[in-house]
């Protein structure tokens, strides 16, 4: 089981190395409502001085966005590709448009998935240090010693990140190598997701003649781009309100320590509007984005919205609803989403963190008034998080809906250590051949 995981993830890691050498990598955010594709040039020698006032922030000076494209997502429900042919077409559209803007061909792509019912596990492992000084092989040993729970046969490990190292009662080490100690322990955060959606996404990417160079959870990567450094250090939750799912990730000491997802999102709001007013989905989406809100005031009663503006009905009937009615439909659903997120945060023990900052991001967080509503449900420390400014990013792609795409490009430039980055210790790897050799000896002598 462990060996299989190592093979898959290491193959993707090797692909990412190749992409780094070529200097061009694409980033693909396959969401329920839209697919975003960014093309990055990775170059160590980019001059940070002369570029639109972006300083040396969070290591994002190493890359530059040269192509960006967004297209409407097709065949994706709850962040999972259900009609693969359609999803593949949408990916092709996005990739081709981004390539056209970049005037450059990409072969390697990092993708992020928002569906697949992510589940978090906290693992712990402990070994005796071989010699006095902790070496790389000790780190590999301690990571391998974490006993992996039975997470289900149809699930796949997306992330397995060492979060904390403990060396003889000294906790909070990020890099124990070359330190002196006897007993090395580690905490690892492991994130699993359903195998089928992940496999479908990989299949769609492969059908577009692209090599998958990495997979990430979208709630994780949007946390990377929407949280500022202090929030990541002191503890914060990022709620990525997408089209079909709402991802939740909790960060502490610059590591993700928990991730979850609620299968509710902005498309449900649209759906409610369409059902409530008996209008097509596209009209509902339109009036939601133009006139939507969650906090009604007195003036909204007199603010009438034409909802059949483009209708070609035979009797020429035109209907109008007040904005207060629209808010009356939207608000319960948004409250439901936020309450579901609240439940997940409570279940994760979010109230024990030193700082309880909550950052809302994602496309559905653009609803006016959501910050005051969220403050009522989630607590006072709520803000809307826009993604980090990244060199070369077009203005149209700087909204909250693109925080996971931007976060994925940050991850591509600065990958987080995963447990498969360390060589599997020899005794674990060699266990099976050695066993076979012993068996052979027993049988023959």
Partner 1 sequence: MRAMKDPAPSRLEYRMKRLMLRRSMRPFRRYGMPVIALATLAGLWAVDEGRRESTAALVAELRNEIGERPELVVRMMIVEGASPELAASIRESLSVEFPVSPFNLRLAELSEKVLALDAVAHASLQVRSRGVLVVEVDERVPVAVWRRDDGVALLDKTGYRVASVPSRASRPDLPLVAGPGADAAIPEAVQLFDVARPIRDRLRGFIRVGERRWDVVLDRGQAIKLPETQAVTAFKKVIELDVAQDLLERDISVVDFRNPQRPVLRLGQTAFGTIHDG
Site for partner 1 in 264-293 (CB under 8 A): 280, 282
In angstroms, the CA 139 to CA 162 distance is 10
Tell me whether residue 111 or residue 216 sits nearer to partner 1 (CB atom): 111
Tell me whether residue 89 or residue 271 sits nearer to partner 1 (CB atom): 89
What is the dihedral angle through the alpha carbons of 405, 406, 407, 413, rounded to the nearest 10 degrees?
110
Sign of torsion over alpha carbons 257, 261, 267, 270 = negative
Q: From the CB of 312, what's the least distance to partner 1, in Å?
A: 9
Say whether residue 254 binds partner 1 (CB under 8 A).
no
Tell me whether residue 96 or residue 398 sits nearer to partner 1 (CB atom): 96
Tell me whether residue 106 or residue 264 sits nearer to partner 1 (CB atom): 106
- Strand pairing of 246-252 and 255-262? antiparallel
Q: From the CB of 136, what's the least distance to partner 1, in Å?
A: 37
In angstroms, the CA 394 to CA 132 distance is 52
Q: How many of the other CB atoms lie within 10 Å of CB of 54?
A: 15
Q: From the CB of 69, what's the least distance to partner 1, in Å?
A: 11
Tell me whether residue 104 or residue 295 sits nearer to partner 1 (CB atom): 104
Q: From the CB of 394, what's the least distance to partner 1, in Å?
A: 19
Say whether residue 310 binds partner 1 (CB under 8 A).
yes
- 3-state class of 88 per DSSP? helix
Give the H/E segment covering residue 344.
helix 323-348
Specify whether the backbone of 406 is left (phi greater than 0), alpha (psi in -120 to 50) or beta.
alpha
Q: From the CB of 103, what's the least distance to partner 1, in Å?
A: 7
> How far apart, in Å, do the first and last CA atoms of the chain sit?
32
Among 45, 50, 56, 103, binds partner 1 (CB under 8 A): 103
Give the H/E segment covering residue 252.
strand 246-252
Q: From the CB of 105, what's the least distance to partner 1, in Å?
A: 4
In angstroms, the CA 163 to CA 180 distance is 20
257 within 8 A of 250, measured Cβ to Cβ: yes
Tell me whether residue 61 or residue 88 sits nearer to partner 1 (CB atom): 88
| Binding track, positions 63-102, relative to partner 1; x by CB under 8 A | --------x-----------------xx-xx-xx--xx--
Tell me whether residue 91 or residue 184 sits nearer to partner 1 (CB atom): 91
Q: How far is CA 104 from the centre of its chain?
A: 26
Say whether residue 135 binds partner 1 (CB under 8 A).
no
Q: What DSSP designation does 55 have? A: -
Tell me whether residue 67 or residue 247 sits nearer to partner 1 (CB atom): 67
How many residues in the shown chain lie near partner 1 by CB under 8 A?
Answer: 17
Say whether residue 209 binds partner 1 (CB under 8 A).
yes
Interface contacts to partner 1, rule CB under 8 A: 71, 89-90, 92-93, 95-96, 99-100, 103-105, 208-209, 280, 282, 310
């Amino acid at each position: 089981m462990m060996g299989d995981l190592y093979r898959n993830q290491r193959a993707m890691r090797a692909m990412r190395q190749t992409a780094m050498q070529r200097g061009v990598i694409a980033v693909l955010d396959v969401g329920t409502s839209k697919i975003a594709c960014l093309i990055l040039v990775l170059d160590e020698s980019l001059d940070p001085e002369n570029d639109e006032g972006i300083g040396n922030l969070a290591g994002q000076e190493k890359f530059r966005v040269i192509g960006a494209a967004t297209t409407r997502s097709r065949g994706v429900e709850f962040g999972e590709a259900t009609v693969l042919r359609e999803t593949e077409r949408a990916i092709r559209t996005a990739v081709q448009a981004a390539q056209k803007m970049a005037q450059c061909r990409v072969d390697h792509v990092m993708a992020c998935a928002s569906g697949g019912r992510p589940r978090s596990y906290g693992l712990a492992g402990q070994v005796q240090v071989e010699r006095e000084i902790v070496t790389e092989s000790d780190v590999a040993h301690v990571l391998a010693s974490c006993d992996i729970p039975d997470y289900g046969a149809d699930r796949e490990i997306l992330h397995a990140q060492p979060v904390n190292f403990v060396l003889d009662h000294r906790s909070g080490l990020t890099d124990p190598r070359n330190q002196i100690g006897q007993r090395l322990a580690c905490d690892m955060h492991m994130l699993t997701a359903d195998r089928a959606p992940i496999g479908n996404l990989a299949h769609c990417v492969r059908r577009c003649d692209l090599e998958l160079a990495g997979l990430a959870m979208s709630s994780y990567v949007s946390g990377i781009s929407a949280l500022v450094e202090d929030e990541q250090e002191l503890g914060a939750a990022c709620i990525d309100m997408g089209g079909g799912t709402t991802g939740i990730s909790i960060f502490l000491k610059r590591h993700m320590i928990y991730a979850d997802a609620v299968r509710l999102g902005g498309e449900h709001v649209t759906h409610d509007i369409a059902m409530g007013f008996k209008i097509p989905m596209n009209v509902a989406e339109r009036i939601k984005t133009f006139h939507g809100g969650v906090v009604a005031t007195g003036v909204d009663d007199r603010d009438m919205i034409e909802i059949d503006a483009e209708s070609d009905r035979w009797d020429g009937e035109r209907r109008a609803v007040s904005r207060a009615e629209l808010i009356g439909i939207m608000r319960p659903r948004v409250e439901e989403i936020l309450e579901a997120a609240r439940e997940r945060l409570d279940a994760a023990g979010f109230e024990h963190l030193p700082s309880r900052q909550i950052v809302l991001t994602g496309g559905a967080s653009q609803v006016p008034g959501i910050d005051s509503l969220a403050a009522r449900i989630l607590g006072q420390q709520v803000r809307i998080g826009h993604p980090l400014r990244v060199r070369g990013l077009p203005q149209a792609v700087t909204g909250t809906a693109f925080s996971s795409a931007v976060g994925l490009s940050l991850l591509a430039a600065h990958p987080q250590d995963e447990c498969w980055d360390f060589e599997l210790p020899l005794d674990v790897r060699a266990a099976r051949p050695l066993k076979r050799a012993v068996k052979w000896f027993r049988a023959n002598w």
